[in-house]
Amino acid sequence: MSNHDYIVVYFDDEVPMKQALVRLTEKKERIIDVRTPFPVHGVDRILGMKKTRIPIGGFILGLLGAVLIFVFMSWCFVVSYPLIIGGKPYFAAPSFIPNTFEITVLFAGVSMAFAFLIRSKLKPDIRYRPLDEKITDNMFVILVDVNGGNTTAEKIREILSDIKPVEIRESEVKNNG
């Protein structure tokens, strides 16, 4: 485990937190993390985060599932065990469509779930210690890096003087990774 020094900025509402994010990114402060009690739309855009490629992986694996099940059903009904049922031909592609659709959705959904878990480094043995119990209850928190430069709590107070955060303090956070 490694320790990092942060300046922790607390807010009681999402609007001033987003204003503070804009102000801090304009002043080139290094924001490590933003922790909120519920998802806040627009934070990823403000922080300049890249769009995820998980849907692309889901599409590719869904397509793979569709091809695999279509080829498998074709092989079963044409080569392995051909039966004429109700006068239909051996290769009755329209009858394969419902199963193909279901397997496509299954492969895409399961692959995106696993990709999310792997990308987020979520596994059963993680023991999460929250920075502060108020974060999961009602506080919005911005973590600003101290190690990389000459950032101090006073400098952050000066930058955010007109936004009025609830609290600004220096803290040492232990990484769980």
Say yes or no: 115 and 134 in one domain.
no
User: Is 35 part of any domain?
Assistant: yes
User: Is 80 part of any domain?
Assistant: yes
Say yes or no: 61 and 111 in one domain.
yes
User: Is 64 part of any domain?
Assistant: yes
Quote the Cα angle for 129-48-145, to 5°. Answer: 45
User: Is 124 part of any domain?
Assistant: no
Of the residues 119, 142, 164, which one is the last residue of a structural domain? Answer: 119
User: Is 84 part of any domain?
Assistant: yes
Where residue 144 sits, what CATH number does that domain have?
3.30.70
Q: Give residue 148's pLDDT.
A: 60
Q: Give residue 112's pLDDT.
A: 96
User: Is 11 part of any domain?
Assistant: yes
Say yes or no: 65 and 12 in one domain.
no
pLDDT confidence bin for 170, thresholds 50/70/90:
confident
Domain region containing 100? 54-119
Of the residues 119, 140, 157, which one is the last residue of a structural domain? Answer: 119
User: Is the per-residue pLDDT at 106 higher than 80?
Assistant: yes
Q: Could you report the per-residue pLDDT of 19-52, keeping only the tens digit for each?
A: 999 999 998 888 888 988 888 999 999 998 898 9
